[in-house]
Amino acid sequence: MQGKTFTVTQPTRIHFGVDSINDLAAQVRGLGGTTVFLVVDPGVVAAGLLPRITAPLEAASVPYTVYDKIDPEPGLKLADNGVKLAKKAKCDCVVGVGGGSAMDVAKAVAILLTNGGKAVDYIGLGKIGKPGVPKIMVPTTAGTGAEVTFTAVFINEKTSSKAGMNGDPLYPDAAVLDPALTLSVPSHITAATGIDALTHALEAYVSTQAHPISDMYALEAIDLIAANLGKAYANGDNLEARSAMMMGSLLAGKALATAGVGLVHAMAYPLGGMHQIPHGLANAVLLPYVMAYNLIGAPERFATLAEMFGVDTSAMSLREAGEAAVEAVYRLNDDVGIPKTLADLQIPREDIPEMARIALTVSRPVANNPRKPTLEEVMSIYEEAMHGWE
């Protein structure tokens, strides 16, 4: 806290609850929208969920155009293509339904409709001048928290690198979180997206930018995820666990939007850009290894994390308690079937120097990290993650 200046921006109206999707038309109208551009994840369509989204719009006579050509880990051209369709259909409101991939495309389309230009023009921080058209996000994975963040992440097809647009205009105007929409998420995606949410909360909690408000979000998120990810993975029909996970990922998104993320994210970026490893999975595999490296930078915080995972730390030194936190996360990863090593993800060892170089260019997460990494240290974390601990 000492000498820290921070800003908390929370413009997103949150509408949460089972069947809250039935109120989608009221949310659209409440923001002045008349014609909706509906960006939908194809996995959501395949799971038979599209009528759950369109029925409330039809019942209220709100016209809509569906855009469902969304790839996981989207490229910039998906946003540019979406804008053309949205303009043609004269849409004045964007609704994004899906995981982070569909929501990020939707957020970018809303911004491009008013700001013009191409998606690539807005990569970076603070490049977006005007607010977008009203945008409403409907997450269908419990993972990214993109429904409450000021970021949209893309793969730049020209450079094969992942990069984000960042700026307050990207905050969605509203988020409709209906846990019932996550019941169809397959178990391996439940696992990877759930550990992704945990990574957001953990990295925000140990971030150099952490403050009492981000801590509040992060700790509540960790509590919910630690208690419920196993249950949601073990039985995808457990609506109570799904609801807790959706609240956990929302709060983790708020934690990341207010305190930032750290080295796990920086090191995950090249795994996505160079090797097409999904964001959540890349974070999940790296998380325990980066935690172990970070321990000495924030020992008290890591000891608190152990307690959040139910470890009795009363007879432990700070160091032992921090190590117990790493162990608890490693075990949770194992419980939910996350691969243990980068070798399991078929990452070639010879790519480590280039991945480490790229990771250190992801400047904000690197700056937020509780331990300042050198190139050699990042290479040795990748090396450790390549072989694992067993």
Which residues form the interface with ligand NAD (CB under 6 A)? 41-44, 47, 72-73, 98-102, 104, 140-141, 143-144, 146, 149, 151-153, 181-182, 184-185, 189, 193, 196, 279-280
185/311 with CB nearer ligand NAD: 185
Nearest residue to 154 (alpha-carbon basis) of 275, 272, 286: 272
Token pair listed for 90: 């004269």
104/203 with CB nearer ligand NAD: 104
196/203 with CB nearer ligand NAD: 196
Please report how close the Cβ of residue 98 comes to ligand NAD at its closest, in angstroms: 5
Please report how close the Cβ of residue 82 comes to ligand NAD at its closest, in angstroms: 15
Please report how close the Cβ of residue 143 comes to ligand NAD at its closest, in angstroms: 4
254/301 with CB nearer ligand NAD: 254
Cβ-defined contacts of 84-89 (< 8 Å, 24+)? 85/37, 86/37, 86/113, 87/113, 89/35, 89/37, 89/65
Distance CA 165, CA 158 (A): 16
Please report how close the Cβ of residue 280 comes to ligand NAD at its closest, in angstroms: 4
Neighbouring CB atoms inside 10 A of 375's CB total 12
76/328 with CB nearer ligand NAD: 76
The amino acid present at 302, given as its one-letter code, is: F
21/291 with CB nearer ligand NAD: 21
Please report how close the Cβ of residue 316 comes to ligand NAD at its closest, in angstroms: 33
189/264 with CB nearer ligand NAD: 189
Distance CA 79, CA 83 (A): 6
Please report how close the Cβ of residue 166 comes to ligand NAD at its closest, in angstroms: 9
245/311 with CB nearer ligand NAD: 245
Distance CA 356, CA 346 (A): 17
Contacts with 297 (C-beta within 8 Å, 6 or more apart), sequence order: 206, 369, 370, 371
Neighbouring CB atoms inside 10 A of 237's CB total 9
Distance CA 59, CA 157 (A): 40
Please report how close the Cβ of residue 152 comes to ligand NAD at its closest, in angstroms: 5
Token pair listed for 2: 């000492």
- Report helix, strand or coil for 372: coil
Token pair listed for 263: 């080295």
Please report how close the Cβ of residue 183 comes to ligand NAD at its closest, in angstroms: 7
Distance CA 381, CA 295 (A): 13
Distance CA 193, CA 98 (A): 12
Contact between 112 and 83 (Cβ < 8 Å): yes
CA atoms within 13 A on the CB side of 97: 27
33/280 with CB nearer ligand NAD: 280
Please report how close the Cβ of residue 331 comes to ligand NAD at its closest, in angstroms: 22
